[in-house]
Structure 1
Amino acid sequence: MSQGDLTRRGLLLAGGAVAAGAAVNLLPGVAFGAPAGGTSQQTKTVTGTFPPSISDWFYIPVEVPKGVSRIDVSYSYDKPTVPAGTRGNACDIGMFGPEGIQLGNTRGFRGWSGGFRTSFSISASEATPGYLPGPIKPGTWHVILGPYTVAPQGLNYQVQITLTFGPEGKPFKPNPAPTTAPAKQRGKAWYRGDCHLHTVHSDGRRTPEQLVADARTAGLDFMVSTDHNTSSSQLQWGDEATDDLLILNGEEVTTRSGHWPAIGLPAGTWIDWRYRASDPKDFQRFVDQVHKVGGLVTAAHPFANCFGCTYEFAYEVADLVEIWNGPWTADDQQTVDHWDGLLRSGRWIPAIGDSDAHNPDQIVALPHTVVLADSLRQKDLLAGLKAGRSWLAESSTVNLTFTASAGTKTAGIGERLGVDIGVPVTVTATVGGVPGTTVSILDQLGVEHSETVPDSGAATVSWTTDPRYSRWVRCEVRRPSGGINTNEPNAMVAMTNPIFLGKS
């Protein structure tokens, strides 16, 4: 079955499948009937071509009759050679059920694998990672195709859909992660966590079991699962939970205008991603959805050098900025510079650092965020992150405290020291586990004071200022020779959010 002419078929109303006034790109669909006697499967194939100038999302309607127990989908597309500097073909895939494909329709979403897999299956009992198990209801399903990049020659695709008929298997039973990790509970304390991690439920190579093992080895107290554009792993973390690692749910909302992890979601929460920065009302709608369920929005790797990865949405809408992503690179420095510029202009968005680890050779907790929270519970951890009571570290061997004091008054990271102009303020950083580094204290003018850490890796560095001259102070620890898994000079080892000085 051929795709037909996209110039005629693009932007068709989906006949009740979408909200009134909405439009989608429908491709020619396939319709299945009752199986012929003695057969239990039917297969149909759709082929077509996407030209170079194309929309982001297309839908293949699939009419599913009664009695289907399993849907299998596979796809392929050509990858012609392209000139240097020209983008080749890449196409994502996913699935929506008969509940509809409206923007934000959480009942209709049945899974997403992006470009990571060439096939997937869904049944009542199980599904390919990234997809949601559940009954195969009769009605119009939709395979969604997302032509990520298209070569000048166009993108020729083939989608094969197979239905298996028969009785449904045993229903899938969700097992989300526990809400506590009693072995690590210390009341009000500093807790280490990595808020950006991937598994085989999106484009990661680690199983959930392997990710938990590596997070524990890294010395984390909590981790956030943020697989791309799907909620499937959120329903299964209880299978891998331990009493010494709190697992929080999230989703890396991966749009064509950048990535924004939503962290701290109730298990089974899916956040839509089918919009761009040019659709600010849609973005705000889903930010509001995250906030309504108690989660936080992160601007992820804002200057990452890959198509669709650079954060193009409004920063003021985000709760957090991921200024350090994985081993220290030049784009991390760009993000720190931009974040520092926002801070100097009076727009502070708390900074976090995450490993964004996908594969076993990528180190979990390089870097991670250390947050002061009233307890090791999701609500308290998110409150500490949103308040900026946190600092970033390349590993759990790094320790840091940072305070500002005047007389009997003391303030910590993310807090304000409310003293008058003219009152001397002593800023103190104490570090450990950081040999071969330099500790710097910065304010809105830049680096104000630096000292080299001795071979012991421990030091206490102090500097005195006045609220008249320093509106805020923060601390950086850098290694001139590079960092873990990076040769980038002056690599970050640890960094704090600011302490604000003065009464306003």
Structure 2
Amino acid sequence: MTSMRTLAALLLVLSTSATAGAQDLVLEDTVPDDAPRYFAVPFSVPAGTVEIEVRHDDLSDANILDWGLADASGVRGWGGGNTEPAVVGVDAASRSYRPGPIEPGEWSVLVGLAKVSEPPARYRIEIVFRTAATLVADPDRGAYVPAAPLESEARWYAGDFHVHTRESGDARATLDEAAALAAERGLDFIELSEHNTVSQVDLLPAAQTRHPAVLLMPGSEVTTYAGHGNAIGTTAFVDFRVMSPPLAVTLETLTADARRDGLFAINHPALALGDACIGCAWELPTPPAAIDAVEVQNGAYSVTGLLFYRQSLAFWDTLLDEGGHAAAIGGSDDHRAGVDLEGTQSPIGSPTTLVWAEELSVAGILAGVAAGRTVVKLDGPDDPMVELFVNEQPLGSRVIAPEVTLRAVVTGADGGTLLFVRNGETVERVPVDADPFETTLVVPAPAGDVDDRWRVQWNARDPGVVTSHVWVAATGEAPVPDAGPTTTTPDEGCGCRTGGDTGSGALPLLLVFALLRQRKRC
């Protein structure tokens, strides 16, 4: 990057004009072909500066660059594809960035090579240093303190683990709009999972007082060019710049950072749409022990399920085959608080994740997910509820016994079929002919040294509900011929490693065309 530094220094001299202050900068250069996927363009902040404005341009209609800002202490924000300038001051900042002290010395504009279709990529950066602030401090911004429990009852809480507000560069909803829609749809919590920033975190306490019925959880969608993760509950920036030497960011450091005060999930692992959703499919290594949850449905099943649900279940099952215990979650990926949705977009609450928690608090929801006590309603809160017990122990439990009884309960269903799924294979189908409906399945413990895992799914014409798992401990004995499970309402199993029918859904080609309309980060 030597040429960048040289040209930047030259342009520093050239930028002293009548329209720019003596210390304002214009940095323009060509990105070398061998540049890392993420790189920094350093600049020096003069003493006395109280506000910095960074204007950026990728100088191309074909290439896409992402943008962020860092000081000597770390990353101050990541706007990604924000087209407007980034403004950071002592008491205020533009969206996607956090205010704070403006220390003199070396800072950096962070650049990500999202897409380079016409090399070489170029950029132009203008930096303005101000001794008087132009932004007014937001009275809602303050130090984050987790809200006290909104409820103290142990029950199923309904929520959405994938919601964006305007703090994400590609979103436009306000925090109040998101919270209001969540309450309207009957949700108990939402996670504000902004792209590679936690600039929303300091706004949550004030918003929580305005919306006391909906828990507003912090988080961050860890948006890389090879997959998107979800740092559920995090309040600190998670460095996402993996596979970009000389940065020492690895998947191990990324997941460790995310799990320091929360959990790490993988979002939409099968969303492979190329430039229509850059980096959305998960292509990074997947260490089972570091993954706490998988987003098995992104958006309502009726909108995107036919394209991605089957593949997402297969991804989840493979992770569990390798020894993981990740829970199932769902996320709407709503960027607009339900307003003017188009294409494949879904409103907050579609899908809805139910979490059994001891209380409605950030800590309570995190504990419920970590324990594997989740159920995903694939279209939304009005879908039926399905529960699964093993020897009367709840979801997430591991039972040691020569044989166990699985008990499934379905409420709110008008017919449909209940599927018992063992290790990713549907082995029993039971017609649902009552409301509430209950059935049991007696199964032996597996021989050998690998536990069996069981979940249930409810399908109507299309898949509707999927639970997380219970585990039946292996006996450690030599395998013997499997006599098969015994159910109180026997039906022929298919032995399919599909996790159930995918249903008819919408026309795949129409969905693909809708997705390709614009570049999205999801």
Fold-level similarity (TM above 0.5):
yes
| Cross-structure match for 2:406 | 427
1:261-296 deviation per Cα after TM superposition (whole angstroms, max 9, x unaligned): 111224xx111112229999732223223333x311
For residue 90 of structure 1, report the CA deviation from its aligned partner: 0.7
Distance in 2 (alpha carbons) for counterparts of 1:335 and 1:381:
23
1:261 aligned onto 2:238? no
Alignment of 1:403-414 (within 5 A): 403-404=388-389, 409-414=391-396
Report the CA distance shift for 1:445/1:191 in structure 2 as closer, same or farther (over 3 A). closer
Task: Choose the corresponding residue for 1:497, options 460, 465, 468.
Answer: 468
1:250 aligned onto 2:222? no
| Cross-structure match for 1:175 | 142
1:116 aligned onto 2:82? yes
For residue 176 of structure 1, report the CA deviation from its aligned partner: 5.1
| Cross-structure match for 1:396 | 381
Distance in 1 (alpha carbons) for counterparts of 2:474 and 2:374:
22
| Cross-structure match for 1:485 | none
1:69 aligned onto 2:50? yes
| Cross-structure match for 2:298 | 325
Distance in 2 (alpha carbons) for counterparts of 1:169 and 1:403:
53
Report the CA distance shift for 1:457/1:396 in structure 2 as closer, same or farther (over 3 A). farther
For residue 429 of structure 1, report the CA deviation from its aligned partner: 2.3
For structure 2, the 5+ residue unaligned runs are 476-522
1:326-369 deviation per Cα after TM superposition (whole angstroms, max 9, x unaligned): 12332231120122234345443222222222223231121132
Moved more, 207-216 or 341-350: 341-350
1:314 aligned onto 2:291? no
SS of 2:393's equivalent?
strand
For residue 441 of structure 1, report the CA deviation from its aligned partner: 1.4
Q: TM-score, normalised by structure 1?
A: 0.79
Report the CA distance shift for 1:379/1:216 in structure 2 as closer, same or farther (over 3 A). same
Q: TM-score, normalised by structure 2?
A: 0.76
SS of 1:28's equivalent?
helix
SS of 1:94's equivalent?
strand
In 1, are the aligned partners of 2:12 and 2:24 still within 8 Å (CA)? no
Task: Choose the corresponding residue for 1:214, options 181, 189, 201.
Answer: 181
SS of 2:173's equivalent?
coil
| Cross-structure match for 1:376 | 360
Alignment of 1:271-420 (within 5 A): 271-276=238-243, 282-292=250-260, 294-305=261-272, 306-311=277-282, 312-316=284-288, 317-328=290-301, 329=305, 330-344=307-321, 346-359=323-336, 360=338, 361=341, 362-394=346-378, 395-404=380-389, 409-420=391-402
AA paired with 1:126? A
In 2, are the aligned partners of 1:432 and 1:459 still within 8 Å (CA)? yes
Moved more, 165-174 or 360-369: 165-174
CA RMSD after TM alignment: 3.3
For residue 128 of structure 1, report the CA deviation from its aligned partner: 0.7
AA paired with 2:325? W
Report the CA distance shift for 1:27/1:393 in structure 2 as closer, same or farther (over 3 A). farther
Task: Choose the corresponding residue for 1:94, options 68, 78, 82.
Answer: 68
SS of 1:240's equivalent?
helix
In 1, are the aligned partners of 2:392 and 2:407 still within 8 Å (CA)? no
AA paired with 1:335? S
1:119-174 deviation per Cα after TM superposition (whole angstroms, max 9, x unaligned): 22112221111011123332222111212111234333222222223379887774
Report the CA distance shift for 1:32/1:318 in structure 2 as closer, same or farther (over 3 A). farther
| Cross-structure match for 2:426 | 447
Moved more, 57-66 or 126-135: 57-66
Report the CA distance shift for 1:276/1:478 in structure 2 as closer, same or farther (over 3 A). farther
Distance in 1 (alpha carbons) for counterparts of 2:177 and 2:163:
12
Report the CA distance shift for 1:36/1:139 in structure 2 as closer, same or farther (over 3 A). farther
Moved more, 189-198 or 275-284: 275-284
1:309-333 deviation per Cα after TM superposition (whole angstroms, max 9, x unaligned): 2221323222222222212332231
